[in-house]
Chain A
Amino acid sequence: MEMVNIKINNIPLEVEKGTKILEAAKKIHIDIPHLCYHPDQKVKAHCRICCVEVAGNRRLLAACSTEVWEGMEIHTDTQIVRDTQVGILQLILANHEQNCLTCARNQNCDLQRLCSRFNILKSNLPDVCDHLPVQDTNPSIVRDPSKCIKCGRCVRACKDVQGVCALTYAGRSDSISVTTAYNKPLEETDCILCGQCSIVCPTGAIVEKDDTQKVLDVLQDPKKHVIVQVAPSVRVALGDDFKLGQGTIVTGQMVAALKMLGFDRVFDTNFGADMTIMEEGAELLDRIQHGGKLPMITSCSPGWVNYMEKHYGDFTAHLSSAKSPQQIFGAISKTYYPKQAGIDPKNIVTVSIMPCTAKKAEAARPEMGRDGMQDVDIVLTTRELTKLIKYVGLNFENLEPAEFDSPLGSGSGAAVIFGTTGGVMEAALRTVYEKVTGKELKSVDFKDVRGFQGIKEATVKLGSQEIKVAIAHTLVNAKKVMEAIKAGTCDYTFIEIMACPGGCIGGGGQPIDTTMDIKKLRMDSLYDIDKNNTIRKSHENPDIQTVYKDFLGEPLSEKAHELLHTHYHKVKKQHDFSYLKPEEIYSI
């Protein structure tokens, strides 16, 4: 690798050719301020706050986009650089809704951090902010355009990560805005509510819908029996905001915190995941053996399901009819559990903690309930749980670890890896393989489907039959799979698709500033939990076995279908041009 010699603030340094100034400075622990730069995104160089002085250049150069050259002398802290940084911040602030005290990103905002760092005091620039209304019309994502600093991170996330392109710049000069086509509410566009925009926004311009007050209210209601289920991805991400190290497994403290918050029962979504495997595994075998629709595609990612319904609405028959773990748990929590616990289901409130913003919309779907009640009443993201823990003043790092409650609190190792791309596939194969071959697996490690590549494939020998399986994450890759199915060139039998990069561990509801590196740590932790679990296959979870024996009967039974399976609907396009198709004139 060709190296170049440079100097930053008179400190000599050797870096690889092609390194950007910003990255070079990081190597010697100098943090050049930045707003539009994000380590997982293409460089934009829009905000200009990373501008630095480079000897020989009469203008300042953007550190995020300028590559070093041999002999480059960079100064990050001269008067002109400081004046520029402060000047840019003041310009941004003059056009920003400054209600930090009541903002969702208070104390967790890049703009706040920079203002604090540069000790920005009140400037005499007039307020030029438009103070536009907050857009709050869907269950998952809230937009506050007056806080937008036009950095373009959300536009990039929606385009490069998901290929959905629901958000865009529009207009010019001071009318420029980040918005949807024709300023339609998100839910009326191609948006699938995955929240990848909210996780990269440096301010409070795009945030998750805050349902914490609903939870606080219901916890105070003595009539209500409030239970909570927690997704696998939360337990390896919650520690981020409590200085326990990124990717650390904090299950014990998490359960303890939830108990101290006042939940009557703290259960595990992994229970729902195991049941999902029971149903989905049986469904897969049923389709294989009886000529059902193949390839079958997983349906536990609501962002992915939204994408299917909006963009490939004619192909929804490929989706597994099994509900997601959140919803399967929800259904059991309102039918089996009340019977078992002797509680009136009308008094049960089921809350779920998810790494996902789309789950809020999933829980609100009309078909996800019965008798006028939703199966899952309130969904909180990981970020909202962090807020609740701080709200009640818990010293999270020092809590005594606690255990999940019974009978819906147990999950196998297969369930916990649902949180990472490839996890659902592996979990399903563990059960399906045994069902078909009748043999117990010698090894439960399908190394073929692990990792972070865009699409991974593997061949699995199910007895005498060999099937091809694939896993894909992000919708850019999901589209490739769907196009192959559309073209008839897809020879997979079973496909796992996750909307978010890395799977749920990278979900839109996870802590802000989640990066690919941090996701890797979370993934490793999930596999660690799996390895250390005595029960590693869904069908061996005794609590699951009990529910089937006492309540559901068999997977795919009538009751199972009624409670644990669902249907999908093609979403109507904004504008339908089928009326333009030429009419049939002749008939044979």
Chain B
Amino acid sequence: MSKSVNFITRNFGKYDVSSIGSYMNIGGFDALKKAVTMTGEDIAATIAEAKIKGRGGAAYDMGRKWAQAKAVVAEKKVIICNADEGEPCTFKDRALIEKDPFNLIEGMIIAGYTVDAQDGYIYMREEYSHLRPLLLNAIRQAKTYGFLGTNILGKGFNFNIHLYSGAGAYVCGEGTALIRSLEGKAGRPRMKPPFIKQSGLFARPTCVNNVESLAIVAPLLLDDKKEYLSYGSGESIGTKLVSVGGNVNTPGVFEIPFGTTVREIVYDMAGGIKGDHTIRLIQFGGASGKIASSRILDTPYTYDDLKKAGVTVGSGAILVVDDRTSVLNFLRTTQAFFSHESCGQCTPCREGNRHIKLILEKLAANTHRNEDITALKKIVKLMAMSSLCGLGESAENALLSAMQQFPDVFEVK
């Protein structure tokens, strides 16, 4: 019987989330106090030592990202907390904001200190608007206590956090689109170069991090006993928040040590499959993630093992679909999502999504022919190879993996 652990989630239920005093009583802001005695390079090195990869889905080495951000020479720099969490079946960031808002604020301040930014922006999806008072309160109290503002902790470090809202666009989870939204425009992604780390928000060097990535910072800095490093192995050390949903008995957010098997997550933590149904497929990483059959149950949840099994960690979502839903209907629902969320700017994604939706409808009506399947494969490849941003690139991941795992679905009957 595998247990979840409490490293990132150590504060859940342990303090009054509306009170900074309550937070400080359990050691809140001790990490910040330690951080300001270190150099930015050292903090980045600590992150790198823990091999933390970006928890939003891109899985970029966070320590390296912070070191690069620190190295950029500029008068005004920006850090952004990406709280847009738009991947279906992903709600771990929501849990972190609901249950440990001050930890996120503390992590952001440490991030700002590390990379020499003066402004931090939290971009939180509109669908979490009920959490705005919580965060605004945390920011306000942090400022009152001198953890935000000018000359923080007497170190000559100035930093402010601004809370911005999204407005119902999954694509705004993409870095350049998020920045465009912050700049007061429609959130359509920009081309790269220029890269965000050189020219991001208002052309300033910008470092974007996911909520969970920032939530690890404070506990990690205070982890003298190296508890975090004791979990997992190889390239996947430490712990991860996963959000399990679908046809399971107890969906929710679980903090697992890397290496826990998928079976343990689905059956021990999420209570197994509802009723007496069997697993049709499991999707990892949200709607833009690849799918696997139940053969993946005994795979350890690590970056490398999942990759070998043909899926990725992605947003940390684990969606379990049982036999009541056909693969085709699953794909059509997923396609409907991307058809709705594509920004529309670039030809491959805008037109590609449109045509794939039509072909899937033909499949559902069993009116498809060989040319349609050929066209499907061509368009899927085109989108993956030439779209402007990650949305177009990954929109057909589920479809692509379905074509490999469940080829009979696409046969012309």
* Chain A residues within 8 Å of B, Cβ to Cβ: 43-49, 51, 59-60, 62, 65-67, 80, 83-84, 87-88, 91-92, 94-95, 124-126, 128, 149-150, 152, 169, 171-176
Contacts and interface: CB of A to CB of B under 8 A. Distances in A.
A152 B393 CA distance: 21
B185 to A, nearest CB: 10
Interface of B: 169, 171, 186, 188, 191-193, 339-348, 350-355, 358, 371-372, 375, 378-379, 381-382, 384-388, 393
Contacts of B371: 124
A59 B188 CA distance: 20
B229 to A, nearest CB: 31
A48 B353 contact: no
A59 B383 CA distance: 10
A150 B386 contact: no
A124 B371 CA distance: 8
6 contacts: A83-B381, A83-B382, A84-B385, A91-B351, A124-B371, A175-B344
A395 to B, nearest CB: 40
B386 A125 contact: no
Contacts of A67: 193
A125 B354 CA distance: 11
Nearest to B354: A174
B385 A60 contact: yes
B351 A94 contact: yes
A94 B355 contact: yes
Nearest to B379: A87
A169 B188 contact: yes
A336 B237 CA distance: 92
A66 B393 CA distance: 17
A125 B382 CA distance: 14
B191 A43 contact: yes
A126 B351 CA distance: 11
Which among B342, B375, B386 has the highest number of chain A CB atoms within 10 Å? B386
A573 to B, nearest CB: 22
Contacts of A94: 351, 355
B213 to A, nearest CB: 24
Given A67-B193, A84-B382, A84-B386, A125 B355 contact: yes
Given A45-B388, A48-B386, A84-B385, A91 B353 contact: no
Nearest to A49: B347
Nearest to A84: B386
B350 A169 contact: no
A95 B358 CA distance: 14
Contact of A173 (B193, B353, B375, B387): B353
Contacts of B393: 59
Which among B385, B387, B393 has the highest number of chain A CB atoms within 10 Å? B385
A363 to B, nearest CB: 38
A588 to B, nearest CB: 42
A139 B393 CA distance: 44
B348 A91 contact: yes
A204 B355 CA distance: 24
A92 B193 contact: no
Contacts of A149: 347
B351 A51 contact: no
Nearest to A124: B371
Contact of A46 (B186, B345, B382, B385): B345
Contact of B193 (A46, A66, A152, A176): A66
